[in-house]
């Protein structure tokens, strides 16, 4: 049994990681900005409370992110965490497949976090995963409320279940730090158009869609599917199974 600090342990993926590691019998610390939401109150943007949460933790899962802010603060958050980790024997960072090939601002921030961790001297594993089912479901669900949904229907995705990613994280955490782990993807690579059809079959909408031909390198990357890893169809739950089984979505708050 180890003491594990989980940043982002109240998020979409983090709650799955917490469930999984608790079942495995670890002692858990969950950092949150919201009193009572985790076990430790703290803020990675300022560093407040982070050292207290990290003190004595041998393992760290860094799954916190602030993707909603235009100027992504994730590198600052990662710096504050790295200053607090002490002599942890393994830090696992969850990242995203293809971030080095898509010049999206949030992805640049994730790449900077990867580099900070790799250069920190802390023994680490970086696991890049594909987009979560919840993220794509929230995006399609929001578009479905429009009378006509304009969508980049030719973008490609390989949606993965957060529970499957959490299982992989638990396995990696059990072993020695590996540096960069193999990418982790869902069982199917599908276009957004195909994902919309799956959503429509379950929810009856969007009633009408129109393909928007987005220009630029970001759109080109998603169109080519550089955010997918077809050689790693590791997750087990398909998007159709997720849609059939989940009525609520943590991103649709
Ligand atoms: N979404 C995807 O499709 C996808 C795919 C691959 C990888 N990832 C990566 O997976 C990780 C988890 O993503 P997610 O979508 O599960 O996250 P999420 O649901 O948006 O949750 C964000 C988490 O970060 C915490 N957090 C944010 N700012 C914080 C701060 N200043 N101090 C302390 N905690 C802070 C939040 O905690 P409180 O609100 O409780 O403070 C929350 O637990 C991220 O690194 C993301 O890049 C995501």
Pull the structure tokens for residue 15.
Answer: 């709650």
Lowest-pLDDT range of 30-44, 66-80, 134-148: 66-80
Look at residue 235 and give its three-state secondary structure. Answer: coil
Indicate yes or no: pTM above 0.85: yes
pLDDT of residue 253: 57
Mean pLDDT computed over 109-113 = 97
Q: How many Cβ atoms are within 10 Å of 227's Cβ, its own excluded? A: 24
For residue 252, the model assigns a pLDDT of 73
Mutate to test the pocket of ligand 1, among 41, 64, 109 (most ligand atoms within 8 A of CB): 64
- The pairing of beta strand 124-129 with beta strand 156-157: unpaired
CA of 238 to the centre of ligand 1 (A): 22
pLDDT (0 to 100) of residue 45: 95
Q: Is 31 close to ligand 1, i.e. is its CB under 6 Å away? A: yes
Main-chain dihedrals φ then ψ at residue 203, nearest 5 degrees: -115, -5
Q: Which helix (H) or strand (E) holds 91?
A: strand 90-96
Distance 147 CA to ligand 1 centre (A): 31
Q: What is the CATH number of domain 3-252?
A: 3.40.50.720
Phi, psi of 129 (to 5 degrees): -115, 160
Q: Is the N-terminal amide bond of 50 cis, ω within 30° of 0?
A: no
> Which atom of ligand 1 is found nearest the CA of 67?
20
What's 65-85 look like in SS3? CCCCCCCCCHHHHHHHHHHHC
Number of H helices, E strands in the chain: 9, 11
Atom 20 of ligand 1, residue of closest alpha carbon: 11
From CA 150, how far away is CA 143, in angstroms rounded?
8
Q: Quick: pLDDT tens for 4-62.
A: 999 999 999 999 999 999 999 999 999 999 999 999 999 999 999 999 999 999 999 99
φ, ψ for residue 219, nearest 5 deg: -60, -40
**Ligand 1 within 6 A of 10 CB?**
yes
pLDDT at 117: 98
| CA 41 to ligand 1 centroid distance, Å | 15
Percent of the chain, pLDDT > 70? 100
3-7 and 149-151 strand pairing: unpaired
15 CA distance to ligand 1 centroid (A)?
10
82 Cα: distance to centroid of ligand 1 (angstroms): 17
How far does the chain reach from its first CA to its final CA, in angstroms? 34
């Amino acid at each position: 049994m180890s003491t594990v600090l989980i940043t982002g342990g109240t998020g979409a993926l983090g709650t799955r990681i917490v469930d999984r590691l608790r079942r495995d019998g670890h002692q858990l610390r969950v950092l949150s900005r919201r009193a009572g939401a985790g076990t430790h109150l703290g803020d990675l943007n300022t560093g407040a409370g982070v050292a207290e949460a990290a003190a004595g933790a041998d393992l760290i899962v860094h799954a916190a992110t602030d993707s909603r802010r235009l100027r992504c603060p994730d590198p600052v958050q990662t710096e504050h965490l790295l200053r607090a980790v002490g002599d942890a024997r393994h830090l696992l960072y969850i990242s995203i497949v293809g971030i080095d090939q898509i010049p999206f601002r949030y992805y640049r921030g994730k790449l900077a976090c990867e580099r900070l961790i790799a250069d920190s001297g802390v023994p680490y594993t970086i696991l890049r995963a594909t987009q979560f089912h919840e993220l794509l479901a929230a995006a399609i669900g929001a578009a479905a409320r429009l009378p006509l949904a304009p969508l980049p229907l030719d973008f490609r995705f390989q949606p993965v279940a957060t529970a499957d990613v959490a299982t992989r994280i638990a396995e990696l955490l059990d072993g020695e730090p590996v540096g960069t782990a193999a990418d982790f993807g869902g069982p199917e690579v599908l276009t957004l158009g195909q994902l919309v059809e799956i959503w429509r079959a379950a929810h009856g909408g969007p009633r009408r869609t129109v393909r928007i031909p987005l220009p630029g390198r970001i759109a080109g990357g998603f169109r080519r599917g550089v955010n997918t890893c077809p050689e790693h169809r590791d997750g087990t739950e398909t998007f159709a199974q997720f849609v059939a089984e989940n009525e609520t979505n943590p991103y649709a708050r």
